[in-house]
Amino acid sequence: MLKVAAALIPGIATYTYFFGVGVLVQIGLATVAALATEAFCLRLRNYPIKPFVTDGSAIVTAWLMALSFPPLAPWWMITLAAIMSIALAKHMYGGLGQNTFNPAMVGFAIMIVSFPAQMSHWAAPLGLAPQSLDAAAQLQWIFTGHLPAGLNFDAVASATPLDTVKTQLMQHTNMLTILHEKLFGGIGGIGTEWITAAYLLGGLYLLQQKLIPWIVPVTFLAVLGGMAGIFWLVDPQHYTSPLFHWFSGAAMLGAFFIVTDPVTSPTTPLGRMIFAGLIGLLTYLIRVFGGYPDGVAFAVLILNLAAPFIDQYTQPSVFGHKNRKKAGAKA
Amino acid sequence: MLLAFVLALGIMAALALLLGAVLGWAAIRYKVDEDPLVDKIDAILPQTQCGQCGFPGCKPYATAIAGDEADINRCPPGGEDGIRKLADLLGKEFKPLNAENGEEKPKSLAVVDEAVCIGCTLCVQACPVDAIVGAAKHVHTVVSSECTGCELCVAPCPVDCIDIVPVGETVTSWKWRYPVIPLTPVKVAA
Amino acid sequence: MNARAEVSKVIFPFHGGVHPPEHKDESSQTPIAAMPVPRQLVVPLHQSIGNIAKALVAVGDTVLKGQMIAEADGTVSAAVHAPTSGRVVAVGPTLVPHPSGLPEHCVTIESDGEDRWIERNRFDWRNAEGRIIRDYLRDMGVVGLGGAVFPSHLKIGGARDGLDTLVINAAECEPYITCDDLLMRERAAQVVEGIKIVQHLLQARQVLVGIEDNKPQAAQAMREALKNAAINFPADVVVVPTLYPSGGAKQLIKLLTNIEVPSGVRSTDLGVQCFNVATIYTIYRALEHAEPVISRVVTITGNVQRPGNVDALIGTPIADLLAFAGDKPGSQAYIYGGPMMGFELPGTSLGLSKAGNCIIAKNGALFPEKPVEMPCIRCGKCADACPAELQPMDLYWFGKSKNFGKAQERNLFDCIECGACAYVCPSNIQLVDYFRFSKSEIWAAEKAKKAADQARERHEFRQFREEREKREKAERAAAKAAARTEASGGNVAEAADAERAAKIKAAMERAAAKKVEAAAAQTASDSVTPIDPDAVSVPMGQAAIAPTSNEAPQAVESAAPALDPEKAERIRAAMEKRAAEKAAAEAMSPEEKAAKEAEKKAKIAAAMERAAAKKAGQAAQQQPGE
Amino acid sequence: MKSMVANGVRGALTLLVFTTLFTALMAGTYAATKSIVDKNTADAERALIAQVLPAGSYDNNLLADKLTLSLADARTLGNDEPSSIYLAKHAGKETGAVVETTAPDGYAGRIKLLVGIAPDGRVLGVRVVQHKETPGLGDYIDAAKSNWSEQFTGKSLGNPKLDGWKVKKDGGAFDSNAGATISPRAVVKAVSKVLVYVSAHKAQVFGEAA
Amino acid sequence: MITQTEVRSISHNAVWKQNPTVVQILGMCPTLAMTTTLVNGTSLGLATALVMACSGGCVALLRSFVPNELRNPVFILIIAAAVTILDLAMNAYLHALYNVLGIFIPLIVTNCIVLARSEAFASKNGVAQSTLDGFMMGIGGTVVLAVLGGLREIIGKGTLFSGVDLVFGAAAKSWVLHLVPADLNYQFLFVVLPPGAFIGLGFLVAGKAALDRRADAARRRAEEAAAGGSEVQAA
């Protein structure tokens, strides 16, 4: 678990570089709230606190959730989300290893459903906004909800590339025009593309450490990219390229850190492939046709629900029983 | 308006006639005669045929349960486990064993003290599963593999030569225990 | 000439497996030491996976070395022999090497120090029939020495037109254990002689000896011995990679022949059979030298001064073995078998069994205490390691929640309890313990179910028999009564009308008589039967009261048709046979022992009949339904 | 065999009796309440329309005085089906018109609106009647959620000028919440369309009825 | 016709022991959809209670005329009639509330608790008992719906009694309690939307179980104390 946290560090560093200390504040708040909730729940359930709090699972949950939050979300939102994810999604279901849903995604989903306005207040990445917020101003905004005099939130805020594409397309704007906006850098949007690349780096580390099965991120990205590719080739005016889908939003974070969560995913090799593939498919559908800008969280939660079902029907054949099946088929 | 009412009434009446006829016919045509419930209950009962439930054997008790004439907590050899299974099957609430019917005992066997046995055959006649062998005026023996430990042979014996001995655990009948989870719960400070 | 042909040396890896630290060098550096005859030997009688051998000796008897002290009980069993000469000092339950820590039947022999052999005659196995050889091996107590102690005679024969491959299991994959390694290094020629015997008995077309690549010396020794021996069949040593559990019979068969033997299928049926190398050695000793299995090579290692291999007599107390190897202070427990599949001994007074290939003195340095068991996070590492390609995390989950049916559905019984899953589990879950728990619960439930079914059947049969006896009695009585009335009726008869009237009257009287008789029979049977089988749905309290004469015939008549006629027919058939058998058994009963014997035979025969009748009944029931 | 038929006949007759009985009961209730239900439905509809008209500005039956637009005209207002314009009159004089319109480009589909317009072209009121905007994000256009829609009252085509009929973010005159500009954008656009339509068909809307 | 003890046991059974919503977990559709506010929850609950009382009484009255195989169609017919009548009546006389509860009134027909009680209770008991059982079952459900609605309203919207004007007329608008000042536009949508209902219901089920367990423990303690006391007396 601590290795997973370590693999997140390049992503966190890049995120902070582009979006400011708000990111670190979110991570800090989430960590503290998650650990406190974890300890409290363990206490309530008469479990030993130390081995569970130190195993790092709550920290990873907190970090993943904080990374999916806008850096300038108010302090109480990330705190509430962390509490909800640990208490509601994890301990209500029986604690570590028993949860049906990915706790980080539950926390995120609850918040985006409840407070969609605040959850879409993204600050513009480095160098894009007409006015930029310094660290003090970010802290002030997160903790008090007020900006220093003379600053207007509309001026510092900006939609994410995914959101922009979606809303602009709705205004019947041509894709090429949209991509000409300065928000879009090389492939996935300024900042975003570097952050996702950093997640990719962390993910490769996890793969190298054999902490995650390679089939999951590969299938997820392949299906997401495949869907994007089909639509893009048919109509590049209204659909974005696979590269854009890979390097924007939570695609990379999801591929390596969220879809791979063992507790909430199937365990059979084929099951994992189906699971990751369907998440990729749903992510694309929600991103392009759904009501929310990014689809990873909802896709993951929906497939979490199907994990036991997928497991049930993808049981690999057991040692010795393969011959028998063949023999039976012949007979 | 009136036409609408008449039409509605007509359609409803026609439907009623049709469905009623089909249902009435089907009720007879697809009637299930046996009561598989009795067999299901009987399968849960331990088949000791001991009669502690107040019925002459397991099947009569199963029939009584199925007919809602007897409670599910009257079988001591079945134990709590058996009551739980019956409760699950019948969708009833679990009840502790009725103390009037006896108490749960470890699995036991009848053993004839062959030095005392006079060969009266009374126990042979009492045994519900024919697990005691022996002819008149010859010493009787209990076939241990078939004895259910029902104790019905104890009372008729005129010389009290039958003992009910609990079957101890041996290496062959030993079971692996449920692994103890070394998760020690924290003591809640009072 | 050496007619050896080339054998396939391709290796077919199995799924999963782990590679724990080997710890083999500690005990493989010194030759096999001969253990002196201990003062006292505790010989367990349960030395095969089957039935416990029946003791043939009593306290006070003197026995000679190699004398059979317990005979095989049934087919799945093996005899036990005195390891040395001496006097029997105890026969009865004593602590045995078993994870339960429960006592089991043992024969304790006090050695007389002479170690005098019983008279032995070489067995001419080459000219003996297969069945005779099998009985001989059983009586020599030959069982699998790899640890499973499966009676070897059951593995000889079975394949009608010979076997494709005979696999000799010399992989010895568990850490610490080196007894097979040393055996091959020092006694390769004798092992090869054994191979020749078994190849001949099984008519195997080729022989493959599987040895892990961490035992080059043993592989070399075996190769040379095979070369030197005059063999006329293809045979070779196949070196397999060191990967636990390649020494599992199924895994080794897969490695060498690419055949996967499913659970519940005899490997012979798939053209392959597997013998442990030490077993092969004992087969050779038994057939060529008439030596029963009274000793084995055992590795003593771990926290001892002189780790190594010892040729020890079966029954040697563990304490003596440890003393021989020099037990060091600080041993917390002693593991019997390897660290992966073995168990902790419940004591050191118990005697070595044929299954005992290794004793590891366990201390904190070699076996650090496992960290706390954490919840399963379904990471799937166990599934990656499982050589049976199971999903251990699911089986664990089902076992933990006591959902045994589901566990069975997911092939719990394919688990070979190798412990690879528990070894890799990052949450330190003792998975195998849960599997063993589930398995024994399932077995126990099946046993209980069988017993209940048997009791039900016997009870129903008994009820039926009582019913029939009662009916017959009533019929006899009615016939008698009818005869009486008929006679009197004849005198009165004058006209047709009168005759008819008389007939009606007679019928009425007959019915009345029947009622009376039935009531009489009822009361009579009540006096001997505490439970009234007629009063099927009447609670016992009421049944104890003798039924009134009005109720009795009703009960007699209604109870019979209440039974399913088909079933009744079946029961009747079974009953007839059963009655005959029982009569026979009872006739023999004057002598206590004879009665027991006869009863047992009758019981088995009856069970077989019952099973056949049941099957026939089921078939009959199914046919009209289809 | 016979019992099957007999049982079937018995079942049919029983069910017939019950069905007739209860159908009659329901029909009776329906007949008894119909007039009240109809009145309630009409009242509700009237109240809905009246929302975009100043209180006391009319004394006629709004549902009776209506102008049904052709499909083509309805389409220019964004509607799929022939829609209506309801006329408000006070003492026989037109005081306003209520136009049904639909904004097709909401964030999550169509937004149905009622726009009240005075004869002089001023907006009397705007109400969102039906929408599927994201709860908490775009649904503030609904009068039940916020008073955002009140800012239209009093505005007309000249105030602001036609190119000012945009949200502030796009350089127009209308407020919108940060991060949720699509829904208000759609509403503003739809209202301006109504104004344009009404001014183009002024005679038809107000004159003809007069 | 109906004794005092019967009334008590039927009521206790219906409202607490066999509570349709938190014990039998029946009729989840309205429970989850209509408990956004206290007023909605209570209104739908009362409507259901009314239907259940009517249908229970009707079923009990007519049960002897209904052959076994026609139980389901006839019971559904009775329930459907009761619901239709209620639907029309509400439309006519409580039109505002009718607008809110909308499609959920006709859906009472498919609320399994209604049929379940007809089948399990009314088809075996007298008219008075069945009417009472149906009504009390409805009340049991209403209580849960009200609590759930109240909780969701407080947490989700920061108000209580919103929508009360729909029942009591526009004058009642001032009865609405604003726990969070209205101008803050407070809204915790997760709780307002159906997931909040699921989680809230989960808490209520758990809460009921906890209360039962506590009562059980208390009773056992009392019993033990009594037993101990008598032993002491005997000694």
Contacts of B184 in chain A (CB under 8 A): 48
Does residue C578 surpass a pLDDT of 70? Answer: no
Residue, of E160 and C109, whose pLDDT is higher: C109
Q: Flag whether B76 is in a domain.
A: yes
> How is chain D classified by DSSP, letter by letter?
-HHHHHHHHHHHHHHHHHHHHHHHHHHHHHHHHHHHHHHHHHHHHHHHHHTTS-TTS--S-TTTSEEEPPHHHHHHTT-SS--EEEEEEETTEEEEEEEEEEEEEETTEEEEEEEEE-TTS-EEEEEEEE--PPTTTTGGGSTTT-SGGGGGTT--SSSS-GGG-SBGGGTSSB--BTTB-HHHHHHHHHHHHHHHHHHHTHIIIIITT-
Q: Which value, in Å, is the radius of gyration of the alpha carbons in chain B? A: 27
- Nearest residue to C425 via CA among C375, C390, C462: C375
pLDDT computed for residue A127 by the predictor: 64
Q: How far apart are CA D127 and CA D53, in angstroms?
A: 10
| Total CB pairs under 8 A between chain A and B | 12
> How is C74-94 classified by DSSP, letter by letter?
SSS---EE-SSSEEEEEEEEE
Are the CB atoms for C534 and C556 separated by under 8 Å?
yes
pLDDT computed for residue C393 by the predictor: 92
> How is A78-98 classified by DSSP, letter by letter?
HHHHHHIIIIIIIITTTSTTT
Cross-chain Cβ contact C372/A48 below 8 Å: yes
Residue, of C501 and C53, whose pLDDT is higher: C53
Q: Which of D10, D26, D37 is nearest residue E67 as measured by Cβ atoms?
A: D10
Report CA E179 to chain centroid distance, whole Å: 26
Cross-chain Cβ contact E81/D22 below 8 Å: yes
pLDDT computed for residue A226 by the predictor: 95
Contacts of D161 (CB under 8 A, 6+ apart): none
Which residues of C are annotated binding-site positions for [4Fe-4S] cluster?
A: 376, 379, 382, 386, 415, 418, 421, 425
pLDDT in tens, C60-89: 999 999 999 999 988 889 999 999 999 999
Q: How far apart are CA C71 and CA C68, in angstroms?
A: 7
Q: How far apart are CA A160 and CA A192, in angstroms?
A: 9
Residues B46 and B62 in one domain: yes
Q: Give the closest-approach CA distance of B48 to chain C in angstroms.
A: 7
pLDDT in tens, C381-411: 999 999 999 999 999 999 988 888 889 988 8
- Record the tokens describing residue B25, joined without a space: 């016919």
Q: What average pLDDT does the structure give for chain D?
A: 84
| Secondary structure of residue C467 in the 3-state scheme | helix
Q: Which of A96, A263, A321 is nearest residue C262 as measured by Cβ atoms?
A: A321
Per-residue pLDDT, averaged over B126-134, amounts to 84
Q: How many CA atoms lie within 13 A of C257 on its CB side?
A: 26
> How is A216-265 classified by DSSP, letter by letter?
HHHHHHHHHHHHHHHHHHH-TTTS--HHHHHTSTTHHHIIIIITT-STTS
Per-residue pLDDT, averaged over A243-263, amounts to 91
State phi, psi for C310 to the nearest 5 degrees: -130, 135
pLDDT computed for residue A183 by the predictor: 66
Domain ranges of chain D: 66-207
pLDDT computed for residue B91 by the predictor: 78
Domain ranges of chain C: 565-626
Q: Which of C129-133, C335-339, D106-110 has the lowest mean pLDDT?
A: D106-110
Does residue A125 surpass a pLDDT of 80? Answer: no
Structural domain range at position B89: 36-101
Burial class (CB in 10 A: 0-12, 13-18, 19+), A210: exposed
Nearest chain B residue (CA) to D28: B5
Instruction: Using CA atoms of C244, C246, C249, C253 in order, give the dihedral in degrees to the nearest 10.
Output: 160
* Low pLDDT (below 70) residues in chain E: 1, 103, 228-235
Q: Which of E190, E199, E202 is nearest residue A114 as measured by Cβ atoms?
A: E190
Per-residue pLDDT, averaged over C172-176, amounts to 92
Cross-chain Cβ contact B21/D14 below 8 Å: no
Q: Which of B77-86, C9-18, C500-509, D83-92 has the lowest mean pLDDT?
A: C500-509
Q: Flag whether B190 is in a domain.
A: no
Are the CB atoms for C589 and C598 separated by under 8 Å?
yes
Q: Which value, in Å, is the radius of gyration of the alpha carbons in chain E? A: 21
Tokens 């209860």 locate to D22
Cross-chain Cβ contact D29/E66 below 8 Å: no
Are the CB atoms for E46 and E142 separated by under 8 Å?
yes
Are the CB atoms for B20 and D11 separated by under 8 Å?
yes
Q: Enumerate the H helices of C140-215 as residue ranges.
A: 179-202
- Nearest residue to C233 via CA among C52, C44, C551, C5: C5
pLDDT computed for residue C40 by the predictor: 93
Q: Which of B49-58, B116-125, C362-371, D188-197 has the highest mean pLDDT?
A: D188-197
Cross-chain Cβ contact C250/A55 below 8 Å: no
Q: Flag whether B8 is in a domain.
A: no
Q: How far apart are CA C548 and CA C522, in angstroms?
A: 10
Nearest chain B residue (CA) to D12: B20
Give whole-number Cα distances, C564 to B56, C464, C571, in Å.
20, 11, 10
Cross-chain Cβ contact D26/E62 below 8 Å: no
Residue A108 burial (CB count, 10 A): 30
Q: Which of D108, D134, D179 is nearest residue A157 as measured by Cβ atoms?
A: D179
State phi, psi for E178 to the nearest 5 degrees: -105, 100
Burial class (CB in 10 A: 0-12, 13-18, 19+), C409: exposed
Residues B85 and B114 in one domain: no
Q: Which of E54, E88, E93, E97 to mutate to test the interface with D (most CBs of D within 10 A)?
A: E88
Q: Flag whether B176 is in a domain.
A: no
Tell whether A305 is within 8 A of chain E (Cβ): no
Return the CATH number at B41.
1.10.15.40
Q: How far apart are CA C277 and CA C357, in angstroms?
A: 12
Q: Give the closest-approach CA distance of D48 to chain B in angstroms.
A: 29
Does residue B123 surpass a pLDDT of 60? Answer: yes
Q: Give the closest-approach CA distance of B113 to chain C in angstroms.
A: 13
| DSSP code for C20 | -
Residue C344 carries which side chain, given as an amino acid letter? E
Q: Flag whether B177 is in a domain.
A: no
- Record the tokens describing residue A327, joined without a space: 């023999």
Q: How many domains does chain B have?
A: 2
pLDDT computed for residue C563 by the predictor: 46
Does residue C590 surpass a pLDDT of 60? Answer: no
**A contact chains, 3+ CB pairs < 8 A:** B, C, D, E
Q: How far apart are CA C199 and CA C279, in angstroms?
A: 14
Q: How many CA atoms lie within 13 A of C326 on its CB side?
A: 5
pLDDT computed for residue B104 by the predictor: 80
Cross-chain Cβ contact E191/A113 below 8 Å: no
**E contact chains, 3+ CB pairs < 8 A:** A, B, D
pLDDT in tens, B46-74: 888 888 888 888 888 988 888 878 888 88
Residues B126 and B86 in one domain: no
pLDDT computed for residue C39 by the predictor: 92
Q: Give the closest-approach CA distance of A116 to chain D in angstroms.
A: 6
Q: Which of A41, A46, A50 to mutate to test the interface with B (most CBs of B within 10 A)?
A: A46
Does residue D102 surpass a pLDDT of 80? Answer: yes
Contacts of A114 in chain E (CB under 8 A): 187-191
List the 202-231 stretch of E: residues with Cβ below 8 A of A.
202
pLDDT computed for residue A290 by the predictor: 80
Cross-chain Cβ contact B13/D16 below 8 Å: yes
Q: Give the closest-approach CA distance of D17 to chain B in angstroms.
A: 8
Q: How far apart are CA A164 and CA C268, in angstroms?
A: 69
Furthest CA-CA distance within chain D = 87
Residue, of C298 and A132, whose pLDDT is higher: C298
Q: Which of D137, D178, D185 is nearest residue A116 as measured by Cβ atoms?
A: D137
pLDDT in tens, A202-246: 999 999 988 899 999 999 999 999 999 999 999 888 888 898 889
Q: Which of B69, B85, B101 is the last residue of a domain?
A: B101
pLDDT computed for residue E201 by the predictor: 92
Q: How far apart are CA E210 and CA B175, in angstroms?
A: 36
Cross-chain Cβ contact A167/D182 below 8 Å: yes
Are the CB atoms for B145 and C51 separated by under 8 Å?
no
Return the CATH number at B155.
3.30.70.20
Q: How far apart are CA C462 and CA C457, in angstroms?
A: 8
- Record the tokens describing residue C205, joined without a space: 């077309």
Tell whether D10 is within 8 A of chain E (Cβ): yes
- What's the length of chain B? 190
Residue, of A174 and D68, whose pLDDT is higher: D68
Tell whether C263 is within 8 A of chain A (Cβ): yes
Tell whether C394 is within 8 A of chain A (Cβ): yes
Nearest chain A residue (CA) to D134: A291
Which residues of B are annotated binding-site positions for [4Fe-4S] cluster?
A: 50, 53, 58, 75, 117, 120, 123, 127, 147, 150, 153, 157
Q: Which of A117, A153, A170 is nearest residue D136 as measured by Cβ atoms?
A: A117
Sign of the four-CA dihedral D183, D187, D188, D192: positive
Q: Which of E74, E90, E100, E192 to mutate to test the interface with D (most CBs of D within 10 A)?
A: E74
Are the CB atoms for E59 and E130 separated by under 8 Å?
yes
Q: Give the closest-approach CA distance of B49 to chain C in angstroms.
A: 8
Q: Give the closest-approach CA distance of B37 to chain D in angstroms.
A: 26
Contacts of A149 (CB under 8 A, 6+ apart): none
Q: Which of E23, E24, E69 to mutate to test the interface with B (most CBs of B within 10 A)?
A: E69
Tell whether C381 is within 8 A of chain A (Cβ): no
pLDDT computed for residue A63 by the predictor: 94
Secondary structure in 3-state letters for C471-507 = HHHHHHHHHHHHHHHHHHHHHHCCCHHHHHHHHHHHH
Q: Which of C254, C259, C377 to mutate to test the interface with A (most CBs of A within 10 A)?
A: C377
Cross-chain Cβ contact D22/E192 below 8 Å: no
- Starting at the earlier edge strand, list the strands of the sheet with C358-362: C33-34, C308-313, C295-302, C358-362, C333-336, C343-344
Contact present, E and C (at least 3 Cβ pairs less than 8 Å): no
pLDDT in tens, C249-263: 999 999 999 888 888
- Nearest residue to C531 via CA among C542, C517, C516: C542
Tell whether E67 is within 8 A of chain B (Cβ): yes
